[in-house]
Amino acid sequence: MKFSGNKSESMLHYPIDAMIRVPLETFNKYIGGALQIEIDRDKADLGTTTIGTKRPDFLCWTKKLLLFKGEEKASSGEFNVAVEELEEKFNVLVPICFGKIQFMIGYAIAGSTVRFYAIDSSVEAKKKPSILFPLTGELNASNLVNRFTILRTVVNIARIILTISDNIPNTLIPLGKRQKLGHSFIMFLSNVVEKIILKVDLPYATNMDNQVNFLKKMYDYAKGHPGLVQVEKGPLFDKGKGIYRVVMKTRDIPCMSELKNENNVWEMMKYILTGFYNRRACNEKLSGYDDNTLTTAGYYTTTLDMYQLGKMLEALSSQISSDQGRGFVEELKSKKLTAELALKHSWINHSS
């Protein structure tokens, strides 16, 4: 197989896959599937819809951990660009997506030039000019000896993945991976979340223009409120693909790692409940509001969300030691609390 600087990025996929994807999958097959990897490419179809250039070209997860990524350019003169994008995309290894893992492995390729790197997310590395640590020199994939080096490097990466896989928690959010949650397709990127819903699954979608305009008013009303979701892009409806899409900002707070005591949990819950309460309030303030727009028989935003919050808090029971806190969790799970009543609870108000 020959590399050519005149080919497009998509034309590079086959020879790159032959050197990277195929050895990973072959290694996994040889050890009986113990590697537990999923591989995906950044492409424009609905299967892996992305936002602009925020997502790497090549992604490999083990369990839910994104441990291996790659940036690919067609022209050999764009190698430095590939390296820059490798460093820029997903360069903050937050605990909610990486647990205690503080490194990622990556490669940059342009034309026939390939180089592998470790991405160091430690505090010490952030003080250096670059968080990229070269694992190999620049390799020419057209050279037979260099191809052996590439294959050997990929096998060693597979061995690293296998070594750490037993220590990866199951609670991680898979960065850059599209997940189906109910009727929604959710993708977490480094600082935004993309949500997609097919038109056939979008409630009250008989008039999409009216529905999208209504949702835009909701998000506009929420701007600047710390307890409500903030929009980065959209909401939009793509008539050609028949999908509704909205891109939401994240606050860049590594939640799970910060919940070290009951006061941390209380602070998080107050933000969430304020958000739920104001979301309902903003619906009522908008003209043309219909009780059925965001509720099912009047119960969706008032009780079922509260029940889910109770289940979430139950998983954090080790951080909640007070009788008030434990009682609050049980009341949420009873499906009797609304967001308004929850905000008046003695635990939320720190009252006796």
What would the pLDDT profile of 173-231 be if each residue is shown by its tens digit?
A: 899 998 887 788 889 887 888 889 888 787 666 778 887 888 888 888 778 776 677 88
Pairwise CA distance, residues 165 & 35, whole Å: 8
Percent of the chain with pLDDT over 90: 24
Which tokens belong to 244?
A: 């509704």
Q: What is the mean pLDDT of the chain?
A: 80
Does residue 265 contact residue 325 with C-beta atoms inside 8 Å? yes
**Domain edges within the chain:** 9-167, 191-249, 262-348
- DSSP strand pairing (65-73 vs 103-110): parallel
Q: What is the structure's pLDDT at 284?
A: 46
Say how many C-beta atoms besides its own lie within 10 A of residue 253's C-beta: 11
36 CB burial (10 A radius; 0-12, 13-18, 19+): middle
Q: Which ranges in the chain belong to alpha helices (H)? A: 9-19, 21-30, 79-88, 95-98, 123-126, 144-164, 208-222, 255-258, 262-285, 305-314, 323-333, 339-343, 346-349
CB-count burial class (<10 Å; 0-12, 13-18, 19+) for 40 = middle
**How do strand 184-188 and strand 192-198 relate by DSSP bridges?**
antiparallel
Q: Which residues pair with 69 in a beta bridge?
A: 59, 106
Closest residue by Cα to residue 335 from 315, 309, 313: 309
Q: Which pLDDT score, from 0 to 100, does residue 227 have?
A: 67
Q: Residue 161's pLDDT band (boundaries 50, 70, 90)?
A: very high
Contacts of 126 (CB under 8 A, 6+ apart): none
pLDDT band, residue 117 (cuts 50/70/90): very high
**Position 138 pLDDT exceeds 60:** yes
The residue with greater pLDDT, 151 or 259, is 151
**Which CATH fold would you assign to the domain 9-167?**
tt1808, chain A (3.90.1570)
Q: What is the pTM of this model?
A: 0.71
Selection from 131, 46, 150, 137 nearest residue 89 by Cα: 131
Structure tokens at 279: 């979301």
For residue 110, the cross-strand partners are 73, 113
pLDDT band of residue 292 (cuts 50, 70, 90) is very low
What pLDDT score was predicted for residue 255? 56
